[in-house]
Structure 1
Amino acid sequence: MAAVVAGLGLAALSDLFSVVAGIRLRNLAQKGSGFFWTDQQKLEDAAELYEKAGMFQGTAYLACAVVFLCWFFRMRRTTGLMAPDQFRRGPGWAVGTWFIPLANLWMPYRIAMEMWMAATFLPHDGGQRQARTWPVNTWWALFVLGTLLNRYAGTSYKNAATLQEVESAVGWYLVADITSIAAAAAAVHFAVRLTALQRRKAVEGPYGLGATDAASAGRIPA
Structure 2
Amino acid sequence: MQCQTCGDATSPSFNECQNCYTPLGQPAVTPGLETHSVRGIGRAASVAVGVTAAFYLLSALAPVAGMVLARQAERDGDSDVLLGAMLLEVALSLPFVVAYLTAAVLVIIWTWRARKNIDAFPGALPSLGQGWAIAGWLVPFANFVVPARVVANIARDSLWRRSTPGLVGVWWAAWLLFSVGERLFSRKNDLEYARLPETAVDRADFQAYVDYYQGALGRNAIPAIACVVAAVSFIVLIRRISAAQQDRIARATPAWPVAPGMPVPGAYAPGMPVPAGAPGPFAAPQPVVAPAPQVPADTPPAAPMVPPVAGGTIGA
* TM-score class, shorter: 0.7 to 0.9
- Asked which structure has the greater RCO (Cα within 8 Å, sep 6+), the reply is 1
Q: Which amino acid counterpart does residue 230 of structure 2 have in structure 1?
A: A
Partner of 1:140: 172
Q: Which amino acid counterpart does residue 44 of structure 1 have in structure 2?
A: L
Q: Which amino acid counterpart does residue 91 of structure 1 have in structure 2?
A: Q
Task: Describe how 1:16-165 pairs up with structure 2 within 5 A.
Answer: 16-26=57-67, 40-82=79-121, 86-121=125-160, 129-130=161-162, 133-160=165-192, 161-162=195-196, 163=209, 164-165=211-212
Partner of 1:211: none
Aligned partner (choices 226, 231, 241) of residue 179 of structure 1: 226
Q: Which amino acid counterpart does residue 56 of structure 1 have in structure 2?
A: P
Q: Are the aligned partners of 2:61 and 2:217 in contact in 1 as well (CA < 8 Å)?
A: no
Q: Which amino acid counterpart does residue 101 of structure 1 have in structure 2?
A: P
Q: Which amino acid counterpart does residue 200 of structure 1 have in structure 2?
A: D
Q: Are the aligned partners of 1:14 and 1:57 in contact in 2 as well (CA < 8 Å)?
A: yes
* Aligned CA distance change for structure 1 residues 68 and 96 (closer, same or farther; 3 Å): same
Q: Are the aligned partners of 1:15 and 1:181 in contact in 2 as well (CA < 8 Å)?
A: no
Q: How many residues align?
A: 195
User: For 1:39-70, what per-residue CA distance to the aligned partner results, in whole angstroms no more than 9, with x for missing partners?
Assistant: 52332211210122112211110011111111
Partner of 1:189: 236
- What is the CA-CA distance between 1:5 and the residue it aligns to? 1.9
Q: Which amino acid counterpart does residue 238 of structure 2 have in structure 1?
A: A
Q: Are the aligned partners of 2:151 and 2:168 in contact in 1 as well (CA < 8 Å)?
A: yes
Q: Which amino acid counterpart does residue 173 of structure 2 have in structure 1?
A: A
Secondary structure of the equivalent of 2:127?
coil
Distance in 2 separating the partners of 1:170 and 1:150: 12
Using structure 1 for the length normalisation, give the TM-score. 0.76
Partner of 1:219: none
Is the radius of gyration larger for structure 1 or structure 2?
Answer: 2
Partner of 2:247: 200
More helix by share: 1
* Aligned CA distance change for structure 1 residues 26 and 136 (closer, same or farther; 3 Å): farther
* Aligned CA distance change for structure 1 residues 88 and 131 (closer, same or farther; 3 Å): closer
Aligned partner (choices 44, 47, 58) of residue 3 of structure 1: 44
* Aligned CA distance change for structure 1 residues 38 and 131 (closer, same or farther; 3 Å): farther
User: For 1:74-121, what per-residue CA distance to the aligned partner results, in whole angstroms no more than 9, with x for missing partners?
Assistant: 111112221586223211110101112222121100111111111133
